[in-house]
Amino acid sequence: NSTSANLHVAILSSPGMGHLIPVVLLSNRLATHHGVTVTVLLVTTTVSPPESNLLKIPLHPLVNILELPPADISHLVDSSAKIVTQLCLMVRVSLPSIRSAMMNRRPHALFVDLFCTEALPIAAEFNIPNYVFVPSNAWFTALLAHSPILHQQFSEEYVNQTDPIHIPGCKPVRPEDLVDPMLDQKDQQYDEYLKIGENIPSSDGVLINSWVDLEPETLRAFAENRSVINIPVHPVGPLVRESEPDHHSSELVQWLDRQPDESVVLASFGSGGVLSQQQMTELAWGLELSRQRFVWVVRRPTGGPVDNAFLRVTNGGDGEDSTPDYLPEGFLTRTKDQGFLVCNWAPQAKILSHPAVGGFLTHCGWNSTLESIGSGVPLIAWPLYAEQKMNAALLAEEVGVAVRTSKVVGREEIEAMVKALMEGEEGGRLREKAKQLKKSGAEALKLGGPSHESMCELLAKIGVASRNNVIS
């Protein structure tokens, strides 16, 4: 702490809560545990309000969010451009404002999130070290860093491959589990993704939201085999959101308070996940048939109008059945003693840490995954987009903390999985593992723990560079 206390780090974040949340968690960690001053440079868009307005995570006094001028990319692509393309273009358009923000207050190091690697060369103009923050796990980082080499090796679309994709020293990736941008090489999103993989080795190192006990083999492969990634990788996680204050949730918490310990399964699909009408119907029936208690964060299925209001559907009540039209008729009445429905958005971290919750049916976004493990809660992995299929494979096949759904999920499968997780022997084993990881994650972050040490090591290098910078 004493050596890092005078450091100032700028962290560049791409827009979107899924990106800003982990950047803020990293910033708070740097400030709280290492005394580092952090300026978050937030890329903003012309189409949506800055995410920081919605951010409920309290900021440490040493952390400041600076919103960059909105990036207008409407003249570069149409609105059908894929998400990775849009994010990378926004960062490209924002480069001059990133540079001038750094001139106003010169940092000792520049960290950039995954989609901001094009800003890495700005660090050289200031003669400061630069790092890439991948707010996900080591295995995904391995695939990303290895993608430029895979691009040379494969002449055909990856989705046409039958054999798993090999990454030296790491678990192979099945073609059907590959990340979204790798599924169509003709889309601009693939080129942007590849560029990220190419840019990473030009940085001084990578920070990942993982820890040694979660992914020992992949981290060993990084250390022993420089062909995967030839720069230091610092596992500094688990960076997880503490349960947030939420004034709307008292009714839900009261309901949870009345349920036995570890008896409730939470079903939720992240900040953006929506199911199709058919999947919603199957999930509703699956939960009902399982006869297990549940909390379900429901959203209108894809194709339907968007619900914006925070509307809670309480079950039962005055005898009227108020089941929304996208759920099976009478669902709320039939499940009134079994479950609790929340529309659109729920205080997820808070629910997961409640003693009554014993399982999590999730899309496997990395933040959600770590929140679950951080509460010792095993998972049912129902991946939807981004790198979630890899996360599901990692959790089910390597870590042993999840069961994974099949490709097309039916009500019988959901019923069986929920039962097995909440009551079965396998569920018991997964729960044991989740509890063990909860402990090991907490240990990793303690003074002297591997993630804490890894951060100290990185900050020591920045400290040395900043002293040399002053002398030179």
Minimum CB separation of residue 81 from ligand UDP in Å reads 19
Q: Which of residues 3-42 bind ligand UDP (CB under 6 A)?
A: 18, 21
The residue among 4 and 268 lying less far from ligand UDP, judged by its C-beta, is 268
Asked if residue 341 lies in contact with residue 311, where contact means CB atoms within 8 angstroms, the answer is no
Q: What share of the chain is helix, strand, coil (3-state, %, to 5)?
A: 45, 15, 40
Cis peptide before 148 (omega within 30 of 0): no
The residue among 200 and 346 lying less far from ligand UDP, judged by its C-beta, is 346
The residue among 60 and 350 lying less far from ligand UDP, judged by its C-beta, is 350
Q: Are strands 339-343 and 312-313 parallel, antiparallel or unpaired?
A: antiparallel
Q: Which stretch binds ligand UDP (CB under 6 A): 45-53, 67-75, 254-262, 364-372?
A: 364-372
Q: Which stretch binds ligand UDP (CB under 6 A): 165-173, 181-189, 214-222, 360-368?
A: 360-368
For residue 298, state whether it binds ligand UDP (rule: CB under 6 A): no
Binding residue for ligand UDP, selected from 34, 146, 241, 300, defined by CB under 6 A: 241
List of residues 6+ apart from 468 with CB closer than 8 A? none
Between helices 425-445 and 411-423, what is the axis angle to 10°?
70
Nearest to 196 by CA among 106, 136, 153, 272: 136
The residue among 10 and 274 lying less far from ligand UDP, judged by its C-beta, is 274
Asked if residue 208 lies in contact with residue 234, where contact means CB atoms within 8 angstroms, the answer is yes
List of residues 6+ apart from 258 with CB closer than 8 A? none
- Determine whether 19 is an active site residue: yes
Asked if residue 352 lies in contact with residue 265, where contact means CB atoms within 8 angstroms, the answer is no
Q: Which stretch binds ligand UDP (CB under 6 A): 2-10, 41-49, 70-78, 342-350?
A: 342-350
The residue among 70 and 347 lying less far from ligand UDP, judged by its C-beta, is 347
Binding residue for ligand UDP, selected from 349, 361, 422, 430, defined by CB under 6 A: 349
In the set 34, 113, 177, 204, the catalytic residue is 113
Asked if residue 213 lies in contact with residue 440, where contact means CB atoms within 8 angstroms, the answer is yes
For residue 272, state whether it binds ligand UDP (rule: CB under 6 A): yes
Would you say how long the chain is, in residues?
A: 472
For residue 367, state whether it binds ligand UDP (rule: CB under 6 A): yes
Which residue is closest to ligand UDP by CB? 365
DSSP state of 188: H
Which are the catalytic amino acids? 19, 113
Q: Which residues bind ligand UDP (CB under 6 A)?
A: 18, 21, 241, 268, 270-272, 297, 345-349, 365-368, 371
